[in-house]
Amino acid sequence: MSRKQPPPPLAPSLTAAIIASYKGERLSKFYHGTGTATFINGQVYAGTFWMGHMHGKGRIVWPDGIVYEGDFDYDELSGHAKYSWPDGSVYEGGVLHGLRHGLGRFSQGDVAYDGEWVDGREHGVGTKVYDATKGIAYEGDWRDGLRDGAGIMRYGKKLVYKGSWIRDMKTGRGCMQWLDRAETYDGGWLEDHQHGFGVHTWKVGKLKNREHRYEGEFANGVRDGYGVFYYASGARYEGHWEDNVKHGLGLFFFEDGTIYEGQFDNDHMVDANDNKPKNAELAPTMILYVDDLVKGTEKEKARGVKAAQNAVLRANTDLRLVYRHYATRAGASAVLTSGPPTSDNHLDLMEMRELWRFSAECRLHNVTMGKLDRYLLVIRNAQNKAVKKLRIQREKKRRHVHPRSIDAIETPREKWTDVHDPDRVILYREFCEILVRLAWDDALERGEVDMTVADAFTCLYEDKIHDHASARIEPMEALSLEVLDAPLQAIFRKYRDTLEPIFAKYARLDSDVAQQPENDIHISVRSFVLLLREFGAMGTMSVSALLALVRKPSEDDESDDDELDPFVLEADLIYPEFLEALTKVARAVMGVPSVPLPVTVAQYIHATFLRDKAPQYLRRNSFTRRQSSLVLGPVQE
Determine the Cα–Cα distance for residues 135 and 129; give it in Å rounded to an integer.
8
Q: Are 48 and 56 in contact (CB under 8 A)?
A: yes
Q: Are 82 and 102 in contact (CB under 8 A)?
A: no
- How crowded is residue 604: how many other Cβ atoms within 10 Å of its Cβ? 22
Residue 461, SS3 per DSSP: helix
Separate counts of helices (H) and strands (E) for the chain? 16, 26
Q: N- to C-terminal Cα distance for the chain?
A: 41
Q: How many residues are given for the chain?
A: 637
What is the per-residue pLDDT for 1?
Answer: 53
pTM over 0.75: no
Please give the sequence-ordered ranges of beta strands (E in DSSP) within 324-440, or none if there are none.
350-351, 425-426
Q: In the chain, what are the domains? A: 1-77 (no CATH), 158-283 (2.20.110), 288-470 (no CATH), 476-630 (no CATH)
What is the per-residue pLDDT for 480?
Answer: 75
Q: Are 224 and 244 in contact (CB under 8 A)?
A: yes
pLDDT level of residue 198 (50, 70, 90 thresholds): very high
Highest mean pLDDT pick, 400-404, 524-528, 565-569:
524-528
Determine the Cα–Cα distance for residues 522 and 96; give it in Å rounded to an integer.
56
Q: Is pLDDT at 633 greater than 60 in this prediction?
A: no
- How does pLDDT run across 42-99, given as a tens digit for each residue? 999 999 999 999 999 999 999 999 999 999 999 999 999 999 999 999 999 999 999 9
pLDDT level of residue 504 (50, 70, 90 thresholds): confident
Torsion sign over Cα 470, 473, 479, 484: negative
